[in-house]
Structures are given as C-alpha cells and as structure tokens.
C-alpha cells in the first residue's frame, strides 16, 4: 500500500490517476494536482474510486513543497510539462520524497531536451537517500526497458538498435497532436541526430526517411529524429555501434507543419502583438484540439518497438520487441486515446515498481538501469501486452530491411 501525488491532469496524467484508482490494493491514497483545477475535477469524477484533488503551480517550488507536506506521499509522479521537471525535483529533495517522470527536462526558451540537467541531481538525491526515476513513459520508458530486457535475456552483446514508433490512428481532425502541442512541435521541428561509432551525427529536421514494416500495421514512411532515450541508452547498453529513432508522420501532418513553420507559428521567441508579448507556438497550442479530446473518435493502432541486433553465443541475432495498442480499446477502458494510454500506463507501472521495492536505490536513474523483468510482467497485466519475435539477419550493419 502506498501514497502517491500525481502532478499534471492532462491526457496522460488522467490515465495514471484512473489506473491507480482501479488498483487500491497498491495505492492507498491518490492525490491529483494541476494548475487547472477543472481538469482535476473532471478526472476525479471519472475515477473508479475516490481520489483527492487540488490546484498547484508546478513552476513554484514552494507551492509543490507545501502540497507534498500536506499529502505526505511515498512517491511524486510528475505528469506535468518537461519545463517543470526541475522545480518538482527540487520540491522532492526538500521533502525527502521519491520522484518519477516520463520526459526529460527542457528549458522554455530553447527547443533542446537532454538529461544533463537532471543527471546533475545524482549526488543530491543519493545524499538525501531518495531516488528519481527518469523517463518512465513509453518512449522514453518502455522502449528503454525493451532494450534492457534484450541485454539481459537475448544477447551477449548488442550492436545496433532502431527504435520504431508508428501511430497509424485517425482522429478525424485536419491537424492535431497526440500529446501537448507545444512539446510535440518543438520536438519534431528541431534538427535530428543519432549515435554511431562513438559519436553523435546531426541531420536537418525530417531530412531522412524510409519505409518501415510495423507489426499489425504494415509499411509506413518513417522519419529519423532525435529522441531522448538515445542519450541514456548510449550510456547503459554496452557494445553499441549505432542507435537511431524513427517516427511516422502522415503527409497531412508534414504539410501542415511546413506551412506553420513557414509563417512563423512554430517560433518559441516572444513577439509583440498590439502591445502584448506573445509566443507564437503557445498561441498555436491554444488553437489546436486538446489531446485528451481526441479519444472518442480515434480509430486505428499504435505500433512501437525496438529492432535490436547483436551477438548471442557467437552468432548474429536480430529481434523485434514491440507493443501494439488500439485507440478504440484504450478509449473504452479509460476514455483515453492510445498515445496517452501508452504514456500513462508505464508511469503507473513504474510507480508500482517503486512502491513495492522492485526498483530500489538512491540517486537518479533511467529506467533501463533497473531489472526489466518485473516491470514488463506487470505492464502486460495492465493493458500493454508486449511481444518478442526473432527476425532474419539480412546485413551485419543494417538493422532495418532496405
């Protein structure tokens, strides 16, 4: 039995709250807080069992400290924006409470995300005797744990990893993002990079693409982009020669994104409009549909996994480890579209690992540093079944089929 404080009541945060509320044998007390109390009230009304709620400004360390002291949680689950990771970590340090999030820190004034800011907390958390679990969504999160599972159970040495992410769903909107529009667009429009032969190689945004055959979905055009789990996996998966991240975007999405970039709507620097300072991307966010509103009419599936090649007993082996999640099914269970579901459920499972002591330690950890087996066993029990398939080795250096 454990007490949790969930900060953030958006699409993925609501999934965490609802999953916790369905498992009261593990979660004895659940408190949900957000900047917008109305969002908390909506989630509270939809939970299977009673949760408490409040308003909090997650940018304000003192407010978060007061909230933690009032709720006395065993774990703070950060489902707020990446901008707020450091203030919430500071509040956890001040109160001596374990921390978990799904995305690494990103400064508001620069479209750049990396773990350096959070890794710098290592000694502080260790000296305080508490832990911070970073990146426990799907990607990052489950994809990292798939790699850790492969390292533990399938290979003697891993050489190549391609993380492949496909959303083959249709929400019926002309243009919408599956999670926070501001974070999504900042992520996609920055230049890409991947790691090969001991160094990072940078590319122009969306300049490299290829057709990838996704389980239960089929072939989709996919773009090579930078994603945060690459940074930690380079450190924690030994023997790597290359790691890349691929994501699908529809022609319609790319067309809209090109136009929005060309007219300046994706800018993150402030401009003056009629005497008022605004940030174009934040204004665009206000115009676009809320990701949580997409669930009702969403059809199709997500297919996300890791194609991994390496050596076992002296022989080259290749596997794909993946999950397929149906938008209609996740909506039927929790009123959530699959992208929110696949982010929130792993955070909920990570909370179980932390509360039950299956993920233990002091300091700052990425999820692949823990034992993957109990996490993946529990994940499959709570709606995200995963699969391992051995693939034919077609090249000593190319993981994905040409």
Residue 56 pLDDT grade (very low, low, confident, very high; cuts 50, 70, 90)? very high
Q: Is residue 177 part of a domain?
A: yes
Q: Select from 134, 152, 179 the last residue of a domain.
A: 134
User: Do 231 and 122 fall within a single domain?
Assistant: no
Mean pLDDT of all residues in 346-352? 98
Task: Provide the pairing of β-strand 27-34 with 271-273.
Answer: unpaired
Q: Bridge-partner residues for 307, per DSSP?
A: 162, 320
User: How high is the pLDDT of residue 391?
Assistant: 97
CATH number at residue 54: 3.40.50.720
User: Do 101 and 228 fall within a single domain?
Assistant: no
User: How high is the pLDDT of residue 1?
Assistant: 72
Residue 185 pLDDT grade (very low, low, confident, very high; cuts 50, 70, 90)? confident
CA dihedral 305, 310, 313, 317 (to 10 degrees): 60
Closest CA to 200 of 166, 165, 224: 224
User: How high is the pLDDT of residue 179?
Assistant: 66
Q: Is residue 348 part of a domain?
A: no
Domain hosting residue 102, numbered range? 2-134
User: Do 130 and 147 fall within a single domain?
Assistant: no
User: How high is the pLDDT of residue 99?
Assistant: 98
Q: Select from 75, 102, 134 the last residue of a domain.
A: 134
170-174: long-range contacts, CB 8 A cutoff, minimum separation 24: 170/298, 170/299, 170/300, 171/289, 171/294, 171/297, 171/298, 171/337, 172/297, 172/298, 173/289, 173/294, 174/252, 174/256
User: Do 44 and 62 fall within a single domain?
Assistant: yes
Q: Is residue 241 part of a domain?
A: yes
Q: Is residue 376 part of a domain?
A: no
Extract the runs of DSSP E, i.e. beta strands, from 90-168: 98-101, 131-134, 157-167
Mean pLDDT of all residues in 240-257? 91
Mean pLDDT of all residues in 6-13? 96
User: Do 199 and 58 fall within a single domain?
Assistant: no
User: Do 30 and 119 fall within a single domain?
Assistant: yes
Q: Is residue 350 part of a domain?
A: no
pLDDT cut 90: percent of the chain above it: 82
DSSP string, 232-301: HHHHHSTT-SEEEEEEE--HHHHHHHHHHHHTTTT--S-EEETTEEE-HHHHHHHHSPPGGGGGGG-BSE
User: Do 168 and 220 fall within a single domain?
Assistant: yes
User: Do 99 and 184 fall within a single domain?
Assistant: no
Q: Is residue 380 part of a domain?
A: no
Mean pLDDT of all residues in 352-370? 98
User: How high is the pLDDT of residue 402?
Assistant: 59
- Report the range of poorest mean pLDDT among 43-57, 63-77, 287-301, 335-349: 287-301
Mean pLDDT of all residues in 372-389? 98
Mean pLDDT of the chain: 94
User: Do 130 and 146 fall within a single domain?
Assistant: no
Mean pLDDT of all residues in 213-225? 96
Closest CA to 186 of 282, 56, 287: 282
Q: Is the pLDDT of residue 19 over 70?
A: yes
Q: Is residue 357 part of a domain?
A: no
- Report the range of poorest mean pLDDT among 58-62, 288-292, 308-312: 288-292
Mean pLDDT of all residues in 195-223? 96
Which helix (H) or strand (E) element contains residue 222? strand 218-225
Residue 216 pLDDT grade (very low, low, confident, very high; cuts 50, 70, 90)? very high
Q: Select from 134, 164, 190 the last residue of a domain.
A: 134
User: How high is the pLDDT of residue 234?
Assistant: 98
pLDDT cut 70: percent of the chain above it: 100
Q: Is the pLDDT of residue 144 over 70?
A: yes
User: Do 30 and 56 fall within a single domain?
Assistant: yes
Number of structural domains (the chain) is: 2
| Full-model pTM | 0.95
Residue 63 pLDDT grade (very low, low, confident, very high; cuts 50, 70, 90)? very high
User: Do 180 and 294 fall within a single domain?
Assistant: yes
User: Do 249 and 302 fall within a single domain?
Assistant: yes
User: How high is the pLDDT of residue 230?
Assistant: 98
Q: Tell me which of 183 and 27 has the higher pLDDT.
A: 27
Highest mean pLDDT among 139-143, 291-295, 393-397: 139-143
């Amino acid at each position: 039995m454990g007490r949790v404080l969930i900060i953030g009541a958006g699409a993925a945060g609501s999934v965490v709250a609802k999953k916790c509320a369905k498992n009261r044998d593990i979660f004895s007390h659940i408190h949900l807080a957000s900047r917008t109390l109305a969002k908390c009230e909506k989630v509270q009304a939809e939970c299977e069992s009673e949760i408490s709620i409040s308003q909090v400004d997650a940018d304000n360390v003192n407010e978060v400290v007061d909230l933690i002291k009032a709720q006395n949680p065993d774990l703070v689950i950060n489902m707020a924006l990446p901008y707020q990771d450091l203030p919430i970590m500071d509040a956890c340090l001040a109160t001596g409470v374990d921390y978990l999030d799904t995305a690494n820190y990103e400064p508001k004034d620069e479209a750049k995300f990396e773990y350096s800011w959070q890794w710098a907390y290592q000694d502080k958390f260790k000296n305080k005797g508490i832990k911070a679990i970073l990146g426990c969504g799907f990607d990052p999160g489950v994809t990292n744990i798939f790699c850790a599972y492969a390292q533990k159970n399938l290979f003697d040495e891993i050489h190549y990893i391609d993380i492949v992410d496909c959303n083959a769903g249709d929400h019926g909107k002309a243009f919408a993002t599956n999670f926070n529009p501001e974070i999504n667009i900042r992520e996609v429009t920055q230049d890409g990079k991947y790691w090969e032969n001991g160094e990072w190689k940078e590319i122009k945004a969306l300049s490299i693409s290829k057709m990838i055959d996704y389980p239960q979905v089929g072939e989709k055009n996919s773009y090579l982009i930078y994603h945060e789990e690459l940074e930690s996996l380079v450190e924690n998966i030994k023997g790597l020669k290359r790691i890349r991240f691929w994501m699908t975007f529809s022609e319609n999405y790319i067309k809209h994104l090109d136009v929005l970039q060309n007219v300046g709507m994706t800018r993150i620097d402030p401009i003056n409009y009629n005497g008022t300072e605004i940030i174009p991307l934040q204004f665009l966010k206000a115009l676009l549909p809320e990701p949580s509103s997409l669930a009702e009419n969403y059809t199709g599936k997500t297919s996300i996994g890791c194609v991994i090649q390496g050596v076992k007993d002296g022989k080259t082996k290749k596997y794909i480890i993946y999950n397929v999640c149906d938008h209609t099914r996740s909506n039927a269970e929790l009123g959530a579209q699959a992208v929110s579901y696949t982010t929130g459920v792993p955070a909920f499972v990570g909370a179980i690992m932390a509360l039950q002591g299956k993920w233990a330690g002091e300091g700052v950890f990425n999820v692949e540093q823990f034992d993957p087996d109990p996490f993946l066993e529990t994940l499959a029990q709570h709606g995200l079944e995963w699969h391992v398939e051995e693939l034919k080795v077609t090249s000593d250096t190319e993981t994905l089929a040409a």
